[in-house]
Amino acid sequence: MQTLIKTEAVSLTGLTKTFSTSRTKVQAVKGIDLQIPTGQIVAFLGPNGAGKTTTIDMILGLTKPTAGAAKILGLDPPQAVSSGRVSAVLQTGGLLRDMTVKETVTVIASMHGKSDRINEVMERTGLTRIAKRRVGKCSGGEQQRIKFALALLPDPDVLILDEPTAGMDVMARREFWSTMRSEATQGRTVIFATHYLEEAQNFAERTILMSQGKIVADGATAELRQLISGRTLSASFTSEDQGEQAATFDQSVQITERNGSRFAFQCQNSDRFAAALLGEYQAYDLEISSPSLEDAFIQLTKDAS
Amino acid sequence: MMTTYIRVEFARHFRDGYNLIFALLLPAAMYILFGNIPSYTAFDLGAGNVKFYLMISMAAYGAAVSTVAIAGTVATETMQGWGRQIALTKMPPAVFVGSKMIVAATVAGISAAIVFALGAATGAQVNEPWIWGASYLIVLLGAMIFACYGIGVGMVFKSESALGLASGLMVFFAFFGNVFMPLEGGMLDAARFTPMFGYVALARYPLLKDMPSGVEMAPDPLWMPTANLVAWAIIFALFAVVATRKAKARQ
């Protein structure tokens, strides 16, 4: 018989961070409890200022928590970092413009004691071709790829990415995630922060929503998706009665806003409802929109409370 | 891990023409300019001649400026997120600072060596050969106190142009520190309190040590430049520590 003790990849208990200046105190992270099992791919979703980066900094030991603790694979953050079991793609800066790509990778590899992995990692992240280019001359997407390569050097069990695609155009984002998908998912635990709903949907099996330093929702990404998959339709009617009548189209239709004879609805089957609005209910100025991240937040914070 | 880092650091510095000019060529050019004015440079002075005196001055200036420029990058690079990148490896931050200091000392050493070589080639002379070595060592070791100054300025302003300013300010310190040309009277009295005075006076001490006091260009008693150097070393070290703490707290 063998007893397997399963350690969580990341475990946060009562994690709190307060930044104090001489005049004000800002509570960036307000007591987070979280368990992430090994092998899971998790998205931290939230707007700017939600506390994602501060939380990640504490997981990595770059910032000391005011209260509570973070453990990675049962280890304290500095231990986990120095043993190379966790690594990260940081959000801002982190590269020196006048170094070449190859120099950057070589230097960081030597600091990890993994100089044998330089060529392999550069090959796999597509950096070999731009090895001699100076970092300052690389595009935003290429710079993120360099940072990604640096994070892969120690061959970590837990990989943390803090808004890895911030500032990239759509094509570069897509390319980044396809490299990511092939390189980082072989049994690794991946945690990434993003404010793109789409990235969470496409890549993470679990999504944690953060807002104002707290976790407002935590669950399978599919559930979250369902929650906010409906469309919002707004239209003007010739009379208010007609608008109210339209709301009875089917069970999923709900009035979310009304302003005189202009109504906003939420519904599941937006195509059929839109056709009916224009035909049956003589609506005009029809607008169809998918819910934004903000809508999702409002929805989810409402559900959570 | 340190050797790889130091190797790449050298590659970076020698790729950057601007740095190279200020650290290596400017002091050498200034020595050639000032050290070869025939009207006075061949005169005897202390245990050697005026050329030897000027050679020490320019070597000291060059070594100090290179140290400021390179040590200052510790600060600017840390604040650009490179510090966080390093914090995610197993290399301790002290090794990062240590590597930079080795690079700074090496470049300062090369800069001073070029001026000394030029001096030897163009007639800088001294009666006792050990004075060559002693002056060079004092130039090199004393330059290290300016590393803290560079780090401090870098941490306060966080930009590379600030390092340019810090190096520029060294010209001012050099003028008022009796480095470029001998000061007299009230100016000299004030100069005794400026940061480069003790450093360059100590480097010249082996050359001038046997001059009777009262003679023109005679050295101050040894305790004066020593006290100046120690005091400024402490001031710069405190400045670097305070500036680093403030910069990190605001990060």
Encode pLDDT of B135-151 as tens digits. 999 999 999 999 999 99
Residue of A nearest to B95 (CA): A111
Residue A78's H or E segment, with its range, is helix A77-82
Q: What is the ipTM of this complex?
A: 0.83
Of the pLDDT bands very low, low, confident and very high (cuts 50, 70, 90), residue A1 is very low
Residue A88 lies inside a defined structural domain of this protein: yes
Q: Tell me, what CATH number does A211's domain have?
A: 3.40.50.300
Total residue length of chain A: 305
Amino acid identity, position B148: C
Decide: helix, strand or coil at residue B85.
helix
> Number of folded domains in chain B?
1
Which of the pair, A191 or A4, is modelled with greater confidence? A191
Of the pLDDT bands very low, low, confident and very high (cuts 50, 70, 90), residue A229 is low
Task: Output the pLDDT for position A300.
Answer: 64
Whole-angstrom Cα distance, residue A207 to residue B37?
Answer: 76
Same domain, A281 and A253: yes
Same domain, A54 and A146: yes
Task: Output the pLDDT for position B37.
Answer: 77
Kindly state the greatest CA–CA separation across chain A.
75
Backbone Cα Rg of chain A: 23
User: Would an 8 Å CB–CB cutoff place B16 in contact with chain A?
Assistant: yes
Query: The domain containing residue A213 runs over which residues?
Result: 36-63+74-221
Task: Output the pLDDT for position B117.
Answer: 96
Same domain, A171 and A257: no
Strands A158-162 and A189-194: parallel
Tell me the pLDDT tens digit for each residue of A41-71: 999 988 888 889 999 999 999 889 999 999 9
Give the B window 147-186 contacts with A, CB below 8 Å: none
DSSP string over A112-149: HT-GGGHHHHHHHTT-GGGTTSBGGGS-HHHHHHHHHH
Using CB atoms within 10 A of its CB, is residue A85 exposed (0-12), middle (13-18) or buried (19+)? middle
Query: The domain containing residue B64 runs over which residues?
Result: 2-250
Whole-angstrom Cα distance, residue B47 to residue B129?
Answer: 10
Indicate yes or no: CB of B1 within 8 angstroms of CB of A113. yes
Give the B window 69-88 contacts with A, CB below 8 Å: 77, 80-82, 84-88
Size of interface A-B (CB pairs under 8 A): 67
Partner residue opposite A96 with nearest CB, options B4, B82, B87: B82
Residue A10 lies inside a defined structural domain of this protein: no
**Would you say residue B107 has pLDDT above 80?**
yes
Residue A41 · residue A205 · CB < 8 Å: yes
Query: In the predicted model, what is the mean pLDDT of chain A?
Result: 86
User: Would an 8 Å CB–CB cutoff place A111 in contact with chain B?
Assistant: yes
Task: Output the pLDDT for position B29.
Answer: 92
**Beta-carbon count within 10 A of A296 CB:** 20
**What sign for the dihedral angle of Cα B10, B16, B19, B22?**
positive
Query: What average pLDDT does the segment B181-193 reach?
Result: 88
Q: Identify any residues that bridge with A264 across adjacent strands, giving them in sequence order.
A: A234, A257
Same domain, A160 and A255: no
> Number of folded domains in chain A?
2
Task: Output the pLDDT for position A33.
Answer: 94
Same domain, A191 and A273: no
**For A75, which DSSP code?**
B
Nearest to A109 by CA among B57, B138, B233, B91: B91
Indicate yes or no: CB of B90 within 8 angstroms of CB of A87. no
Total residue length of chain B: 251
Residue ending a domain, among A221, A250, A269, is A221
Tell me the pLDDT tens digit for each residue of B42-52: 788 888 899 99
Partner residue opposite A150 with nearest CB, options B1, B12, B85: B85
